[in-house]
Every structure is written in structure tokens, then in C-alpha cells.
Amino acid sequence: MTTEAPRRTTTEFALRPDELLEMYRRMRRIRRFEERASALYKATEIPGFVHLSIGQEASAVGACWPLRPGDGITSTHRGHGHVLAKGLDTASMMAELMGKEAGTNHGRGGSMHIADPNLGIYGANGIVGAGLPIAAGVATAARLRGAGDVVVAFFGDGAVAQGMFHEAVNLAAVWDLPVVFLCENNHYSEFSPAEKQHRAPLSARAAGYGIGYEYADGNDVVAVARTVSAVVERLRRGEGPVLVEAETYRWHGHYEGDPERYRDESEVAAAKKRDPLIVVRRHLAEAGVPETAVAAVDAEIDREIDAAVDRARALPDPAPETLHDHVTAPRPALPEPAAPTGEVFRTMDAVRLALEHELTTDPDVFLAGIDVGDGGNVFGLTRGLAQAFPGRVRDTPISESAIVGTAVGAAMAGMKPVVEIMYMDFIGVCLDMLLNQAAKLRFMTGGRASMPLVVRTQFGAGRSSGSQHSQSLEALLAHIPGLTVVMPSNPADTYGLLRAAIQDPNPVVFVENRLQYGFKGPRPPADHLVPLGKAKVVREGIDVTLVSWSRMVQDSLAAAELLAAEGISVEVVDLRTIAPLDRETVLASLAKTNRLVIAHEAVRDFGVGAELSALAVDEGFWHLDAPVTRVAAPAMPAPYAPALEKLWLPSRDTIAETVRRIAAV
């Protein structure tokens, strides 16, 4: 199967007869694949949801025609045509649709989530518009490497209403990224006609972002290829992104089984008169390609698709023992480092030094976020790094979805991005990029997608920051399989854990406490690394186990010191990593003390403390001599008034009071 168009200049765009025939072959492959997928879905041989692109073959093939192997695409839930046009084989794709282990993504992605980054296919996507920020990330990697690669981001007209569209296009414009934002305007957003969804045309939107705009007849593969080839040449020369509108029409409903009550049969019939395959056949006839050659291609593709279906039917399903495969990448085993003995330094110094160390030693690392470059971060943590590492410390617009989406795309393209979300509370703005992209893409691609990225953020109540700047949301993040969540409690661990997170092959959310940026402790050596997923006993004791993390560890240690004077021996465990949870260390301490108290800054209900309580009652039940108890903020928003906030937050004294009560049981 041919995967790359012959190279030629587009200054005088013309196609040889053999090139036109190859275009037809690719379009025919998509058409027959989709027709068989439709029939197999109706026969229940393909499970789940299926969204077909019959009628849109020309836009897929034409847009991918000028692409090189190093170029990338991102796709949509209607992505079969795009990935086939970029070079994915029909056999593994059909197996993937049938949920087979030998499918493109080992049966983990299915119709909406096919990807192969090795071919520059960075994923079809079940979330409307989600591929656009990811495309910006892939393009960022291309720009940083200077290889002249480009990215085509396919999306439908419905995605224009998504905030991710705005954020991605604006970021790409500001950074002059080599992205072709290719809208397949099929005139329907699910069931709604485009005129009911938008008031401004795409040409006006492009002008608003300060980027180029081109229109192409999306049913004419030659017209699309001519337009996109010219745009791609401009991007390879270093020009900024371009929005291309390819006007087309989908013959089937939004999904297979769609009753299509929103349009009548006459409209569909009229659209079929401009069948993209008929249009390209006219080009073939004008170029003198004999009908026998076209018929031979038809027969060839029929055999190919028949063979793909027969093969997929005969393949085994994923084995039960593979259920947990591909959720996370194996992480390197790291020993617990020796206690630091260097001069005193602060947590804010630890953050900067860790970032500086990884930027220095690994050229694939880059930083991005709001004001992390020229501004040096709102807390001054990255001051000077933009000057020391030109181009690799990048200011972004205030666009959290684009920031994290850029990290996802760049990670898939082989970089190690470290991006900053200024406040933990703002995680909600970009939650899809964490919940449905960073955390799931390795799994949904059957391990094909790498995801070595770090999202740095900070939190901390106690300074009257109010309800939207004080939240401790680690339980929300820890509930997402695939994410690693880290919350250090001291400067040395901050340094060692941040370096380990940047080197880790998995997506890590690294949560700092802003009230600890000035906290001081001994500085470790430059090679200091702290293993992820490992808790640490930071104070030995025999009467009560006290588990905590982040700043609350320091309050727990202070409470333990207070109680020691009363003859109560408290063992303090610092989780350090929230997910994955180090159950073994907690249970070992519980077996030693037979009592468990958990202290955390987050609200009490449905939190990490509840998970630890369940662990103790489930696996540690026979060690318990007293109720498991949590010390935490009540389930309400953080108050602004200092007097109320002080009542709301746990403290050394409330922790000590609780431990004292449990020790007496």
C-alpha cells in the first residue's frame, strides 16, 4: 500500500495520470472500508459506536496528499478516512474495529480512537475538538526540532463552537506553528444544520485570529490537494498556521443507526450527484486513464477489504490476562535516596533547580505556561530560564486546554513537556485534556502513544484566597486511571520528585503548596531522585499511625512532637505520591501501631482519606484497635474571611486533639 505521494512543487500544480490513479485508489479504499464497516456494524460484528465518512473521501486524501512520513495528523470521531489516507493499513484497522488483540491498538481504541504515532497519526478522538490542541503540541515539537514537518488537524464544522477550537487556533497563531486547520464542512453538527450553529463564516474567524484562510471544493480531491499542497509549502518555509475549509457532505447519518429525521432523502440524493469518486473519475478520463485501469483498482481494493474482514474475523479477542495492559508505562525502579545534608534552601529554589537540571540534561524537555517565560512565573519560580534556554521556555495565552493539549501532543511526538496551570482550581478548565486525553491515550492506543508529560500546579488555603483559589483537588485527579499525582511536603522531596516526574514515561500532575515556597530544608545533591509511588515514614512511632501529604505533613510532624511530650508515640507517614497509592507502607505502619489517623487539607467527604480508610478496613482490618479517623476540612467551599478560614482548615492542634483521642481508645 502506497503511503506517500510523489514529491513535486506546487507552484504549477499538476498531476500525472499515475498520481491521479493513486488518488483514486486511496479514495476507493476508504469508500469500500466504510461500506463494509457499515454492513459489519449492522450485523453486530463491530461493537460500540461507528461514525462513517462516506462522501468525504476527497478531503481526507487531498489533505494528506502532500504530507511526508514525518508530518502528522490529528483526527475526529469520524476518522477512518483520515488515518487510511495517512497510510494506516486496512487489515489492522478492521481488526481494531472488531475489538481484536491484533488490531491497530490491540482492541483498546475501536472506531473513534485509532492512532499510530509512528505513522504520524496522533489519534482519532471521541471528544469533539480535542484533536486541535493536540495538533498544536505535535506542531510545537516539529518547530522545536526544526525538521520542517507540518501537522494537519482535521475537524468538522461543529467543532468550531468548542472552546478548544479557539484556544488551539489562537495558540498556534501566537506561536506561528506549522498547522493546517482543515475543516471538513459537511454542513451538519450532529443533527443540527450549520446555519443554526454559527453566525460567522470560517473566513471571518481566520481573519480574527490573524491567520490565513483558503477554501477548497471538498468533493474534488485535486482541488483539495492543490490547496493544501500550497499551504504546506508555506508552512515548511516557516509561515504560521492556515485555516482551510473543505466543503463536503456526509452521506450517512451522524452515527450508524441515526434515524436522520433532521434531513430528507432528496437532500442526500442531490449531494450524491457530486460523489467524490465520480469527480475524480472525470479527472482520470480527462487525463486519458483507461477505464480498465480504474476497474482494476476497484477489483484490487475489493480483494484487499475482503481479506481484511476475513483476517479480522479469524483473529482472537484480547486475552483476559491482558485486561490491565497499557494503562501506564513501566516506570524505572529508583532507590530511596539518602537524607540530604547540604546547605539550607527553599522549596521555590527546589522547583527552579529541578527544572533547570532537566532542561540542561535533556533537549526534549521544554516548559510552557502562562507567564512562565518573560514573567518568570507568578511566584518567580522560573525567572531567568527563558533567557538560559531560548525557545524552550514558552509563554502561552491564558488557555488552559491549549496548554495541556499542547503537552499531550508534544509528548506523543516524543518530547517531554512540562506545562504549568497557575492554580489547581483551574484544572477544571482543562479537565478534558487530563481526563480523556493524557490519562487515556496510552491505553486507547494499545501502548502506541507515549505520554511523558508533567503538569505543574499549586494550591494552598490559609491566606484568604477564597473559594476559587484555595481548593485541594487531588482526589478528583487520583480518581482518573492513568494519571500519577504527586504532592511533596519539603524542599528536597520537591526537587527529587519533580526530576523523577519529568523523567517518567507517564503523565504526572505535580502539585506544589504555595504556602511552602519559602519553606526551608537541607539541599540534596544534584543527582537526587525520589521514587514515584513510594510513601516514606518521616517519623517513627509505635502508638498511632498518622498519614498525610503536602503541607499538612509539617503540621502532622508538629503535632507528633507535641504529643511526644505527653508520652504518645506517633508514626508519621508522608504519602508523597497520591496515585499510585503506596498501600504497602501504610499497611505496614498500621500493623505496627494498630491505629490510623489521616490528616489532609482537602475537604473530608469522598477524598483520599476515605480511600485510606477503606484500605485500612479492608486489608488492615485485623490490625485495627480503634476507629480509623480523618482530620480534614468540612465539605464546603473555602471561606474568604480569615477567622472562618482558620476554623475551616485543619491545624497542628486539631490533628493533635484527634490523635490524642484515638490513642486513648
Active site residues: 400, 469
Grid look-up 454559527 returns 198
Q: Give me the DSSP letters along 182-202.
A: EEEE-SEETTEEGGGT-SS-H
CA atoms 236, 237, 241, 245: torsion sign? negative
Distance CA 458, CA 438 (A): 19
- Helices 202-209 and 163-175: crossing angle, nearest 10°? 50
Distance CA 40, CA 98 (A): 9
* Radius of gyration from C-alpha coordinates of the chain: 28
CB atoms within 10 A of CB 237: 9
Distance CA 341, CA 223 (A): 68
Distance CA 266, CA 132 (A): 34
Helix (H) or strand (E) holding 132: helix 131-145
CB atoms within 10 A of CB 176: 15
Q: Considering only CA atoms, which of 104, 94, 106, 114 is closest in space to residue 41? A: 94
Residue type, 611: E
Q: Considering only CA atoms, which of 249, 254, 247, 139 is closest in space to residue 202? A: 247
Q: Are 106 and 115 in contact, with CB atoms under 8 Å apart? A: no
Nearby residues of 224 by Cβ (< 8 Å), 6 or more positions away: 58, 59, 61, 62, 63, 65, 216, 217, 218, 246
